[in-house]
Structure formats: structure tokens, C-alpha cells
Amino acid sequence: MKTATLLCLCFLGFRYSLAASSEEDVYEYLWEKNKDIANKTLGTDFLVQMQNGSLQAERYVSFTIQDIGYLLKVTKMLKRMSGKETQPTELRDFMKGRYSSYKRFADSMLKQYFFKLEPPIQQTPAMRKYLSFYRHLLEKEDPLYFAVGLLPCARLWTWLSNNLSTPPTNAYYTWKRDNMGGHPEKYRDLLNKNLNTTKKVAKANAIFRTQMQNEHDFFSSS
């Protein structure tokens, strides 16, 4: 009886937590509920060696190539998403903004690495799994949840770069510097307004956590 009562209280507490967050700052709630994965990612061998300057150049090059592949694929998905006429105007405008931003960054990356055309990049298993989940969100879920799926990358990379103790003399300091100025808070108003029920918040949390894990797996396998 005590166990049953405890489980009931835990469940009610979890529901209350979701309900309270749905009325307050869902954007922040999603991050705090999944910050454990952020901390695990910060401790991956790849980032530890990047921080102390011992990371082999070949590993960083491979990481960058996979990141370019990710950027190109997600940009294409955002182009499709921004063209969906059935979604609310607010969400469509958000997707158009994300597409424009991703497209500019993708073009700059191709130019930086002297690619005239989009290169054929063989995906690692971790990246293949990551992009597969994006495709699921694109094809099977409400467009709002695609926005949720984008947030972990934006929020995590900014957080990682601000928490890496990489000195300016480190060869990998540019990665830290270039990612410190991200603005993931642009997602806040959209998510706080539209994730307005316990059920929506719970689903968003599951999607957010999956994408945080996909980010972790990308770093840990690089």
C-alpha cells in the first residue's frame, strides 16, 4: 500500500511539474530536465582533448565534415518545412527564418572549405541515426515538434562553448569562439506559447531528450 501511494504521489508530482512548466518557461524546463546529457557531452573524450589541445587533427577534420553534412541535410529539411502551407503563420515564419539562417551558414561553410558543389559525405552511424530522427519529425509529426528537435543543437553548442576552458592559444579555440555567441533564446516565445498543455510538454521533452542524446552520440563517436 505504501509503495502504491508513493508511486501515485510521484506521478502526481511529475504531472504537476509538467503542468507548472507549461504555464511558465517551457524553453527553460526542457533544458533543465535534460542538462544531465549536456554534462555528459562536455565530458566526452573528443571535447576533453579539444579543450586541452591534444585532439588529433584528423578527428577534428572528420567531425567538421560530418557537421557540414548535418548542416546541408537539415537545411534541406527546413526548406521543405518552411514551404508547408498548412502550419500556422507564426510557425511558418519561424521556419523560414531558421531556413535562411541555416542556408547562409551552409553556404559559408562550403566556401570556407573550398567546395564548389555539395560534397557527397558518407554519414557515420551516429549521424545517420541523428538525421533519421529529424526525418521522422519532418514527415510524421506536427511542425512544432520539428522546432523542438532543432533546439538541442542550438542550445547545447552555445552551452558547451561557454563551459569549455579552452585558452586563446589553443588551436581549437576558434570552435569555442565561433559558438559562444549563439542565440537559442529565439525559440523561447514560440515554444512557451504553443507547448501549452501537459501532453504537449511531455512529448516535447521526449523529443528534446532524444535529440540531446543524438548530439551526445555525435560528439562521443567523433
User: Which tens digits make up the pLDDT trace of 123-138?
Assistant: 999 999 999 999 999 9
Note the pLDDT of residue 87: 84
- The domain total for the chain is 1
pTM of the model: 0.88
Which burial class, exposed, middle or buried, applies to 220 when counting CB atoms under 10 A from its CB (0-12, 13-18, 19+)?
Answer: middle
pLDDT tens per residue, range 95-133:
999 999 999 999 999 999 999 889 999 999 999 999 999
The CATH number linked to 43 is 1.20.910.10
Q: Which of 206, 192, 210, 203 is nearest to 27 (CA)?
A: 192
Cell of 104: 547562409
Residue keyed to cell 563551459: 163
**Range picked from 4-18, 86-100, 142-156 for highest mean pLDDT:** 142-156
- What domain range includes position 22? 2-220
